[in-house]
Structure 1
Amino acid sequence: MMECQNNSTRGVIQAVILLVASLGTGCSDQGDPGSTTTATTTAPATQPPAQAGSKGPDLAFPSGPGTANYTTEGPIKAEPPAINAGLVEPGSTVKGDFKLLNTSGQPVTVLAARPSCTCTTLELDGKTIPARSSINVPVEMKVSSATGTKQAAVNIVFKGLNQIVQITLTAQVAYKIKGTPTPYIDAVAPENVTGTFGLQSIDGRPFNVVSVMGQKPVFVGFNPGSDAPRNNYTLRYDLRSYPCNAMPMYAIIETDHPECRILDMRIRHECTRFKPQLSLGQFVANAGVIPVGGRGEFMMEIKNLGNAGVSGVSTSTPEVAVRLVDQVSDGTNVQCTVEVVPRQGVSGVLYFPVTFHAAGRSAPVQVYCLVE
């Protein structure tokens, strides 16, 4: 990752990712606000870090006299200035189109267009907008497996103008099943170490709960042996058997819903507070359903690495092997793609740490998948 732009203009023209994370099912929040470093659920890595992939090119904004004086006023208009994709599946790609309208009597050329995160792609640099005309610009945003509101910005500057134009893409990332009445298990208070939580399909489709945290689900007011599948359930949880250093950050839930076979719910507890050494885009990743003998993958953004890329990934779990297959830098953040290969003979729900190594630091991400 390369810090390529002039510090005097960085605050004006560097796009800033806005991740409005909610503590929801599949939460990607950066831990509880104000939390301090406490025990994690990871163990020292027993597998050496996998080798890093290639880094992307440097992305530099213009610098020089006057570049600190960009304004949002000028002859170039974005139509629409914001694109809201609505409800989308985790791991999907959001696509949209906007227009750049040139209201002046002279053609204007795009000098630089920079998305706020490596998850967003567009090709705009060097394109010319004819006088009193417009050009169509397609843009894509790849969302992660974490749920919540995802928003990315694209900042655009032009040759001969001190104008900056910003567009935003927003999506509500959600699984077909959500936690109720809150999208997390609140076990912070000692009396809440046992309790209940709900699951509900947002598409209204009946489904079965197969397992919760690797165990048979304990239902309230439902008999799976005699009752027909429902589109919502109340279930019991009990965290008393977990020592503090093994308290899971997430409850992993397996269902038979065809569009939501496996999902997570954040467990809020004093022992799951976490402050990593690296700035992670999210704390959890869903590697999906992996066929026996096959392989899966997940994506993870590491923020604010400066000139350093990710040197590798590792896991302390013998049931899987992990490998960093690609990383793309935008000059500040790195978007990583990690391959997950379950060992021969392994099946069922897996929940394991994957540790990212960069710049002499490391940070674990909680990863889960269903092997069948």
Structure 2
Amino acid sequence: MRLSSITSPAKALFASLALTAFMACGVPVTPPVTITPVAPQVPAVKSLPKGAEQISFNDPAYASRVMRGAAATSGPISASPATVDFGVVRPHSVVEGTIRLSNASSQAIFIEKATPSCTCTTVDMVGKQIPAQGSIDMPMSMKTNDAIGAKVAKVDLVFRGIPTPLSVTYKAEVAFIVRASPPFVDMTTADLSGKIELDPAKLRGTYKVQADDRKPFRVLSIDNQPASIDGFDPAKDAPRSEYTINYDFTTTPDASIPRWIIVETDRDDCPLVDLRVRHPATRYVPTIPFEQFRAAAGATSPNAAGEFSILLKKFAGRVLAVQSGDARFKITETSQTSDESGMLMRVGFSIDPALRGSYLFPVKFTVQAPSLEGAAPNSPVQGDLFVYGLVR
């Protein structure tokens, strides 16, 4: 097995995400890959990866989608807006814009530090000065990764002679072009004490799958089985941009309830859509600070290798081993890099040549850190990450 470390700053932009089908149980596991820690690196965004989308809220065509927050102040310095919300953006997009820094004092003020909260954010303001009774523009950019959901980046500015830092924030909701609504299937209810229990009436229901760009597409399978689509016959009807899909777990044993439902589509830019299944049997108690509990390996052709990445948030320890929990998948390589947001792990794996369709398998991480909730300092802790993908 090959061991490597990330040396290219651009690799630190990979992150994790998301989609999975049903879990295989009772299969033998492959030997773990042990990890040799590497020195932390702090990469910066130099350029856009090939095919990345770049968006600017300074572009009039995009401005209507952006919500600008009120100004923030630190002494005589104000930032306007203090928070920029880009709304819904795609994975691997770059959003950018300009925030105006104003100085209400009678003398110029220098910017001594401009510290992003993660390497997904780029800003170059150190050493610049804001003129007395004047203002300057601060360009910023934020790159989204594989992780689906809310994305927040912050930059802390420190000014010479001003003790209190000033913070500005970028926000975005990262989502694939095809989405499920709601993004989960909830079969639970809470009693008066707050205890979560199964609600048998919710074992059967529907959810929608829709394309944000309204382009027609086809649903090819649900968890590798033919889809039950309300009011649609794939043999007769033309593709649509939205479907209502039926689910029924009334006769499914608890042990066979999937953690996620995986919808396969015919779109190359979004071959899989996942829905979290909320059921007492699928409850997950995290022991490792993964950014998400699932990671996307994407679609591959037969006999090709898979790869995923995952961020361990605010993690200052070591990853000791990575082990597949399914004999059809074998961990072949790992690499890691660290910055203020945590440790980013990239993991490569081989796939059984006979496998076709969507898949989900657990990957067990063994880590060690000075401080992890519920664990003694520097004691080994294990936790599962669920990896999804597609072979076709």
Report the TM-score when normalising by structure 2.
0.71
Residue 279 of structure 1 corresponds to 289
Residue 129 of structure 2 corresponds to 129
Tell me, in whole angstroms, the C-alpha distance in 2 between the residues paired with 1:90 and 1:183.
16
Residue 348 of structure 1: which of 340, 346, 357 is its match? 357
Residue 81 of structure 1 corresponds to 82
Establish whether residue 47 from structure 1 lines up as the match of residue 57 from structure 2.
no
Residue 215 of structure 1 corresponds to 225
- Answer whether contact 2:18 2:387 (CA < 8 A) is retained: no
Residue 278 of structure 2 corresponds to 268
Residue 327 of structure 2: which of 307, 318, 334 is its match? 318
Tell me, in whole angstroms, the C-alpha distance in 1 between the residues paired with 2:138 and 2:40.
22
Q: Structure 1 residues 253 and 226 mapped into 2: Cα distance closer, same or farther (>3 Å)? A: same
Q: Structure 1 residues 81 and 339 mapped into 2: Cα distance closer, same or farther (>3 Å)? A: farther
Report the TM-score when normalising by structure 1.
0.75
Deviations 1:339-364 (A, max 9, x none): 34434443321211223322111222
Residue 198 of structure 1 corresponds to 208
Query: What is the RMSD computed on CA atoms of the aligned residues?
Result: 3.2
Tell me, in whole angstroms, the C-alpha distance in 1 between the residues paired with 2:366 and 2:86.
34
Establish whether residue 147 from structure 1 lines up as the match of residue 131 from structure 2.
no
- Answer whether contact 1:254 1:262 (CA < 8 A) is retained: yes
Residue 309 of structure 1 corresponds to 318
What SS is found at the alignment partner of 2:208?
strand
Q: Report how many residues are paired.
A: 322
Deviations 1:254-312 (A, max 9, x none): 0012332111011111111111111221112222222334344333221243x413334
* Greater shift in the superposed pair: 148-157 or 291-300: 291-300
- Answer whether contact 1:219 1:236 (CA < 8 A) is retained: yes
Q: Structure 1 residues 47 and 193 mapped into 2: Cα distance closer, same or farther (>3 Å)? A: farther
Residue 384 of structure 2 corresponds to 364
The structural deviation recorded for 1:44 is 8.2
Tell me, in whole angstroms, the C-alpha distance in 1 between the residues paired with 2:219 and 2:310.
28
Deviations 1:137-166 (A, max 9, x none): 443433343433322222222333212111
Matches within 5 A, 1:114-125: 114-116=115-117, 118=118, 120-124=120-124
The structural deviation recorded for 1:228 is 1.3
One-letter code of the match for 1:321?
A: K
One-letter code of the match for 2:299?
A: V
Establish whether residue 338 from structure 1 lines up as the match of residue 347 from structure 2.
yes
Q: Return 5+ residue gaps in structure 1 as ranges.
A: 1-24, 28-38, 60-70
Q: Return 5+ residue gaps in structure 2 as ranges.
A: 1-16, 44-71, 189-198, 369-379
What SS is found at the alignment partner of 1:317?
coil
One-letter code of the match for 2:363?
A: V
The structural deviation recorded for 1:95 is 3.4
Q: Structure 1 residues 238 and 91 mapped into 2: Cα distance closer, same or farther (>3 Å)? A: farther
Tell me, in whole angstroms, the C-alpha distance in 1 between the residues paired with 2:183 and 2:287.
27
Q: Structure 1 residues 327 and 321 mapped into 2: Cα distance closer, same or farther (>3 Å)? A: farther
Deviations 1:232-263 (A, max 9, x none): 22222233565434432211110012332111
Q: Structure 1 residues 105 and 212 mapped into 2: Cα distance closer, same or farther (>3 Å)? A: same
- Answer whether contact 1:47 1:316 (CA < 8 A) is retained: no
* Greater shift in the superposed pair: 227-236 or 94-103: 94-103
What SS is found at the alignment partner of 1:279?
coil
One-letter code of the match for 2:386?
A: Q
Q: Structure 1 residues 76 and 194 mapped into 2: Cα distance closer, same or farther (>3 Å)? A: same
Establish whether residue 288 from structure 1 lines up as the match of residue 298 from structure 2.
yes
One-letter code of the match for 1:175?
A: F
* Greater shift in the superposed pair: 131-140 or 72-81: 131-140
Deviations 1:67-116 (A, max 9, x none): xxxx9432333243222223211343433443444444544443433333
Tell me, in whole angstroms, the C-alpha distance in 1 between the residues paired with 2:116 and 2:108.
23
Residue 66 of structure 1 corresponds to none
Q: Structure 1 residues 193 and 143 mapped into 2: Cα distance closer, same or farther (>3 Å)? A: same
- Answer whether contact 2:180 2:274 (CA < 8 A) is retained: no
Tell me, in whole angstroms, the C-alpha distance in 2 between the residues paired with 1:208 and 1:143.
27
Q: Structure 1 residues 57 and 80 mapped into 2: Cα distance closer, same or farther (>3 Å)? A: same
- Answer whether contact 1:263 1:286 (CA < 8 A) is retained: no
Establish whether residue 56 from structure 1 lines up as the match of residue 65 from structure 2.
no
The structural deviation recorded for 1:183 is 2.4
Tell me, in whole angstroms, the C-alpha distance in 2 between the residues paired with 1:135 and 1:80.
13
Q: Structure 1 residues 134 and 328 mapped into 2: Cα distance closer, same or farther (>3 Å)? A: farther
Q: Structure 1 residues 159 and 369 mapped into 2: Cα distance closer, same or farther (>3 Å)? A: same
Residue 14 of structure 2 corresponds to none
Tell me, in whole angstroms, the C-alpha distance in 2 between the residues paired with 1:131 and 1:310.
48
Q: Structure 1 residues 106 and 299 mapped into 2: Cα distance closer, same or farther (>3 Å)? A: farther
